[in-house]
C-alpha cells in the first residue's frame, strides 16, 4: 500500500492518570490526515494541539483509542515505532535551541546518522536537506550559533528533513521571527509541500499565516476538534473562533463587517489581495 | 520638560570571540541612536531580527551600558552603575517568554517578588500586589498556580510583577510572540490601559504590525540605527520603505493599498478594520465611486 494516511480513532489522552489531578487533554479525537495535505492546526494555549502532534510520531501514547499509520496500528506490539519517528518528523517550538554541534553540516547529519544509515547516504541526505532549506555551501562549516535567527531555524528544520520524513509537523515554526523571516520559513514549507509532496501539519497562532498557506484548517478547543475544513469555510465561523480565543484574519473581518452593514460582497476571500478584489467588484459592479 | 528617556548617539558593540576567547571581531549592535521619549508616551519599536531592538531595550533597563554615547533614563545616567537599581525601578522590563519570568507557586506571590526585592514593607507589598493584579485583570486568579494559566494570563502576571514596583515606564520585548490571538489582545489591552489610566510610559518592541497601531509614535530600527520614525499612520503609509527593512504593514492597510492600485480613491494610511469599512460604505453610498479612468 503506497497511499499514506494517518488515522486517529476515538483517541483520548489524559495527563496525570492516578494522581488525582487528571486532565483530559484529548477527547475522542477522530481524524484522518491524507497524503500530501497542508494542514493548519489552530487552538488557544492548552487546547490540546501539542498533545495531538506528539501522538502523531509516537512521542507519547494515547490513553485510549487507536492510531493507524498507512493502515497499520502503531500500538501493535510488532509495530516499529522507531521507523514511525523517522517518517513523521516533528519540529518543536524554537527548534534552534536544540542546535548543538560545532558546524552546520554536523548538526544536520545528527538525525540521519542516528537512523543507522551508511555515511555516504547520511551526507547525501544532509546536503540535499540544506539545499532545500536554502542554506548555502558557504555556511556548511560555520558554527550554527553565528547564524541569524531565521538561518538557525532553517538549519534545525534541515536536520529533520535529512531524515526524509513523509510527514512534517511543525509547532509554531515562525514564532519570534520578523515578517520577512516568517515569509521565508512559510514559503519554504509551501515549496517542500508542492515540490516533494510532503504532508505538512503547521501548528500556528497566526490566522493570517493559516489563511495564506494551508489547504485544510483544524481548530481545537478543550481537547476536541471543533472545526475542520478549508480556511475560507472555517473563517465563516467568526464568532465561534473568537469564543475559543482565536479570531479571523483582518481580511475576513473587513468582509464580514461590510456584509453586516448590508453590502452584497461575493465569495469567501481570506487574504488581503482576495478581499481587495471582492470589495472592488462590489464597489464597481453591484 | 526633561524627557523621560534621552539617548544621545548611543553605541553598543559586542565582541565576537573564538573558542579560546580571543576577540575575532566587533559587532556594532547599536550605531548612534539618538531619541527622546516624553513621560507618558506609548512608543513602539519595530525592526527585523538582529536590527538591535532588544539590545536597545536592555540599555533602557541598564542590563547593558553604552560603549559610546550616553543614555539617561528618568534623568539618570545608565553608564553609572550606582544608578542601576534606580534605573531598573523606574523602567521595568517584560520579556518574550512568560515561562522564564514566573518564579513563585502562587500568582500573588509572584507579583510580590519584585517589591519584596526592593525592600518594600510587607503591608505595602500586599496592597501593591492587589492593585497591580487588578490593573491587568488577573485579581481573580491571585490564589491560582501560575502553571494553570494560559500564556496571555502568565504574561499579564509578569506585567503585574513589574507594576508592583511602581515603575514610571514599562519596556516590553516582544511580549506576545508566544501567545494565541486572545492572549495577544489581552496583553496589549492591559498595556494600553496602564498607559492611559496610570500614565505609565510604554516602550513596546514587537513584530506584530497590528499591535503598533496602539502606539503614539513608532521607531523603525535596522542595522543598529533608527531608520524611520513617526506616527503609526505616517510609518504604515510607507510600505515600500518598510519592506526594505524586512517589515510589512497591517493586513487592513494592505487591502486599502490593493484597492488604491485598482483605482479606488481612499487614503493609504488606514489602520483599523472599522475605519476601512466606514470609508468603503460611504464611498458606495455616494454616487461618485472613484474609479479613475486612465
Measured CA distances, B187 to A39, A73, B182 (Å): 28, 44, 9
What's the CA gap between A57 and A253, in Å, rounded?
36
Helix, strand, or coil here: B62?
Answer: coil
pLDDT at A150 over 90: no
Taking the CA of residue B12 as centre, how many other CA atoms within 13 Å lie in the half-sphere pointing to its CB? 27
Across the range B87-110, mean pLDDT stands at: 88
Residues of chain B positioned with their CB less than 8 A from the CB of A148? 49-50
Across the range B19-48, mean pLDDT stands at: 91
Q: Which of B238, B187, B234 is nearest to B208 (CA)?
A: B187
Q: Which of B46, B180, B159, B31 is nearest to B94 (CA)?
A: B159
Cβ A179–B179 below 8 Å, yes or no? no
pLDDT at A29 over 80: yes
What's the CA gap between A221 and A237, in Å, rounded?
14
Across the range B266-286, mean pLDDT stands at: 93
> What is the percent of chain B with per-residue pLDDT over 90, rounded to a whole number?
68
Amino acid A285: pLDDT: 84
Distance of residue B272 Cα from the nearest chain A Cα, in angstroms? 9
Asked whether the beta carbons of A123 and A109 are under 8 A apart, the reply is yes
Q: Which of B160, B171, B196, B205 is nearest to B73 (CA)?
A: B171
Helix, strand, or coil here: B21?
Answer: coil
Rounded to the nearest 5°, which phi and psi values hold at A233? -75, -50
Structural domain boundaries of chain B?
A: 5-239, 250-289
Residues of chain B positioned with their CB less than 8 A from the CB of A272? 251, 254-255, 258
pLDDT band for position A3 (50/70/90)?
low
Amino acid A14: pLDDT: 94
Helix, strand, or coil here: B78?
Answer: coil
pLDDT at B287 over 60: no
Asked whether the beta carbons of B45 and B20 are under 8 A apart, the reply is no
Measured CA distances, B172 to A79, A172, B20, B43, B137 (Å): 49, 21, 35, 10, 18
What's the CA gap between B14 and B51, in Å, rounded?
14
Taking the CA of residue A29 as centre, how many other CA atoms within 13 Å lie in the half-sphere pointing to its CB? 37
Cβ B179–A205 below 8 Å, yes or no? yes
Written as one string, the DSSP assignment of A173-236 is: TTTT--HHHHHHHHHHHHHHHHHH--EEEEE-S-HHHHHHH-SEEEEEETTEEEEEE-HHHHTT
Across the range A215-221, mean pLDDT stands at: 97
- According to CATH, what is the number of the domain B5-239? 3.40.50.300
What's the CA gap between A279 and A266, in Å, rounded?
9
What's the CA gap between B49 and A184, in Å, rounded?
13
Closest to B150 (Cβ–Cβ): which among A44, A180, A208?
Answer: A44
pLDDT at A122 over 60: yes
Distance of residue A275 Cα from the nearest chain B Cα, in angstroms? 7
Please give the grid coordinates belonging to residue A226. Answer: 471543533
Of A128-132, A230-234, B86-90, which has the strongest mean pLDDT? Answer: A230-234
- Between strands B217-222 and B225-230, the pairing is antiparallel
Question: CB contacts < 8 Å between A and B, how many?
Answer: 124
pLDDT at A264 over 80: yes
Cβ A45–B291 below 8 Å, yes or no? no
pLDDT at A222 over 80: yes
Please give the grid coordinates belonging to residue B248. Answer: 510589512
Asked whether the beta carbons of B167 and B89 are under 8 A apart, the reply is yes
Residue-wise pLDDT tens digits, B113-128: 988 988 889 999 999 9
Q: Which of B56, B66, B120, B143 is nearest to B93 (CA)?
A: B56
What's the CA gap between B246 and A183, in Å, rounded?
10
What's the CA gap between B142 and B138, in Å, rounded?
7
Q: Which residues are bridge partners to B42 per DSSP?
A: B202
Amino acid B186: pLDDT: 87
Amino acid A55: pLDDT: 95
Residue B65: exposure state from Cβ atoms within 10 A (0-12, 13-18, ≥19): middle
Residues of chain B positioned with their CB less than 8 A from the CB of A185? none
Asked whether the beta carbons of A159 and A133 are under 8 A apart, the reply is no
Closest to A253 (Cβ–Cβ): which among B152, B273, B291?
Answer: B273
Across the range A109-129, mean pLDDT stands at: 94
Amino acid A1: pLDDT: 45
Residue-wise pLDDT tens digits, B259-273: 999 999 999 899 999
Helix, strand, or coil here: B10?
Answer: strand
What's the CA gap between B189 and B62, in Å, rounded?
27
- Between strands B169-173 and B68-73, the pairing is unpaired
Written as one string, the DSSP assignment of chain A is: ----EEEEEEEEEEETTTTT--EEEEEEEEEEEETT-EEEEEE-TTSSHHHHHHHHTTSS--SEEEEEETTEETTSTT--HHHHHHHEEEE-SSGGGG--SSSHHHHHHHHHHHTT--HHHHHHHHHHHHHHTT--GGGTTS-GGGS-HHHHHHHHHHHHHTT--SEEEEESTTTT--HHHHHHHHHHHHHHHHHH--EEEEE-S-HHHHHHH-SEEEEEETTEEEEEE-HHHHTT-HHHHHHTT----HHHHHHHHHHHTT----S---SHHHHHHHHHHHHHH-
**Nearest chain A Cα to B283, which residue?**
A283
Across the range A168-193, mean pLDDT stands at: 91
Amino acid A118: pLDDT: 95
Please count the other Cβ atoms lying within 10 Å of the Cβ belonging to residue A272: 26
pLDDT at B183 over 50: yes
Cβ B177–A176 below 8 Å, yes or no? yes
What's the CA gap between A170 and A95, in Å, rounded?
9
pLDDT band for position B107 (50/70/90)?
very high
**Nearest chain A Cα to B275, which residue?**
A254
Q: Which of A189, A164, A163, A160 is nearest to A98 (CA)?
A: A160
Q: Which of B159, B254, B164, B257 is nearest to B209 (CA)?
A: B254
**Average pLDDT score over chain A:** 92
Residues of chain A positioned with their CB less than 8 A from the CB of B289? 283-284
Most A CBs within 10 Å, among B96, B147, B213, B280, to test the A interface: B280
**Nearest chain A Cα to B186, which residue?**
A245
pLDDT at B177 over 90: no
Q: Which residues are bridge partners to B170 per DSSP?
A: B92, B202
pLDDT at B293 over 50: no
Amino acid B219: pLDDT: 97
Residue-wise pLDDT tens digits, B242-258: 999 999 999 999 999 99
- Residue B104 DSSP symbol: S
**Average pLDDT score over chain B:** 90
pLDDT at B291 over 70: no
What's the CA gap between A55 and A46, in Å, rounded?
15
**Nearest chain A Cα to B284, which residue?**
A283
- Residue B237 DSSP symbol: T
> pTM for the whole thing?
0.88
Across the range A50-78, mean pLDDT stands at: 94
Amino acid at each position: 500500500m503506497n497511499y499514506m494516511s494517518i488515522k486517529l480513532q476515538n483517541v483520548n489522552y489524559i495527563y496525570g492518570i492516578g494522581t488525582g489531578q487528571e486532565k483530559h487533554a484529548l477527547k475522542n479525537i477522530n481524524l484522518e490526515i491524507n497524503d500530501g495535505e497542508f494542514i493548519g492546526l489552530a487552538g488557544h494555549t492548552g487546547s490540546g494541539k501539542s498533545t495531538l502532534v506528539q501522538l502523531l510520531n509516537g512521542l507519547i501514547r494515547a490513553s485510549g483509542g487507536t492510531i493507524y499509520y498507512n493502515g497499520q496500528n502503531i500500538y501493535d506490539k510488532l509495530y516499529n515505532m522507531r521507523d514511525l519517528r523517522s517518517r513523521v518528523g516533528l519540529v518543536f517550538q524554537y527548534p534552534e535551541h536544540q542546535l548543538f554541534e560545532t558546524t552546520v553540516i554536523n548538526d544536520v547529519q545528527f538525525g540521519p546518522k542516528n537512523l543507522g544509515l551508511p555515511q555516504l547516504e547520511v551526507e547525501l541526505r544532509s546536503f540535499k536537506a540544506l539545499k532545500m532549506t536554502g542554506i548555502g555551501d558557504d555556511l556548511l562549516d560555520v558554527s550554527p550559533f553565528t547564524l541569524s535567527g531565521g538561518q538557525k531555524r532553517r538549519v534545525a528544520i534541515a536536520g529533520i528533513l535529512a531524515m526524509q520524513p513523509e510527514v512534517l509537523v511543525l509547532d509554531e515554526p515562525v514564532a519570534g521571527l520578523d515578517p520577512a523571516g516568517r515569509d521565508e520559513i512559510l514559503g519554504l514549507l509551501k515549496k517542500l509541500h508542492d515540490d516533494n509532496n510532503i504532508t505538512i501539519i503547521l501548528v500556528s497562532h497566526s490566522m493570517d499565516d493559516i489563511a495564506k498557506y494551508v489547504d485544510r484548517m483544524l481548530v481545537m478547543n478543550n481537547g476536541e476538534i471543533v472545526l475542520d475544513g478549508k480556511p475560507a469555510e472555517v473563517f465563516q465561523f467568526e464568532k465561534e473562533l473568537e469564543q475559543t480565543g482565536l479570531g479571523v484574519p483582518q481580511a475576513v473581518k473587513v468582509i464580514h463587517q461590510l456584509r453586516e452593514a448590508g453590502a452584497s460582497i461575493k465569495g469567501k476571500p481570506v487574504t488581503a489581495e482576495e478581499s481587495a478584489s471582492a470589495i472592488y467588484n462590489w464597489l464597481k459592479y453591484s | 520638560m526633561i524627557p523621560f528617556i534621552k539617548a544621545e548617539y548611543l553605541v553598543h558593540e559586542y565582541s565576537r570571540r573564538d573558542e579560546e576567547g580571543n576577540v575575532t571581531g566587533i559587532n556594532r549592535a547599536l550605531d548612534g541612536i539618538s531619541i527622546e521619549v516624553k513621560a507618558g508616551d506609548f512608543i513602539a519599536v519595530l525592526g527585523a531580527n538582529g536590527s538591535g531592538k532588544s539590545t536597545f531595550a536592555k540599555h533602557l533597563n541598564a542590563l547593558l551600558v553604552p560603549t559610546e554615547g550616553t543614555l539617561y533614563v528618568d534623568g539618570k545616567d545608565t553608564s553609572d552603575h550606582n544608578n542601576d537599581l534606580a534605573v531598573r525601578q523606574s523602567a521595568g522590563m517584560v520579556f518574550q517568554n512568560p515561562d522564564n519570568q514566573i518564579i513563585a507557586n502562587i500568582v500573588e506571590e509572584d507579583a510580590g517578588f519584585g517589591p519584596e526585592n526592593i525592600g518594600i514593607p510587607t503591608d505595602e507589598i500586599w496592597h501593591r500586589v492587589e492593585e497591580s493584579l487588578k490593573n491587568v485583570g488577573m485579581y481573580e486568579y491571585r490564589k491560582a498556580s501560575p502553571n494553570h494559566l494560559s500564556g496571555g494570563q502568565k504574561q499579564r502576571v509578569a506585567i503585574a510583577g513589574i507594576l508592583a514596583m511602581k515603575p514610571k515606564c514599562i519596556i516590553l520585548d516582544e511580549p506576545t510572540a508566544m501567545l494565541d490571538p486572545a492572549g495577544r489582545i489581552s496583553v496589549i489591552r492591559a498595556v494600553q490601559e496602564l498607559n492611559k489610566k496610570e500614565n505609565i510610559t510604554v516602550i513596546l518592541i514587537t513584530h506584530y504590525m497590528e499591535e503598533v497601531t496602539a502606539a503614539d509614535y513608532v521607531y523603525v530600527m535596522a542595522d543598529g540605527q533608527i531608520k524611520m520614525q513617526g506616527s503609526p499612520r505616517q510609518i504604515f503609509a510607507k510600505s515600500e520603505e518598510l519592506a526594505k527593512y524586512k517589515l510589512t504593514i497591517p493586513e487592513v492597510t494592505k487591502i486599502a493599498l490593493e484597492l488604491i492600485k485598482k483605482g479606488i480613491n481612499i487614503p493609504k494610511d488606514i489602520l483599523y478594520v472599522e475605519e476601512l469599512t466606514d470609508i468603503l460604505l460611504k464611498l458606495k453610498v455616494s454616487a461618485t465611486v472613484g474609479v479613475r479612468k486612465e
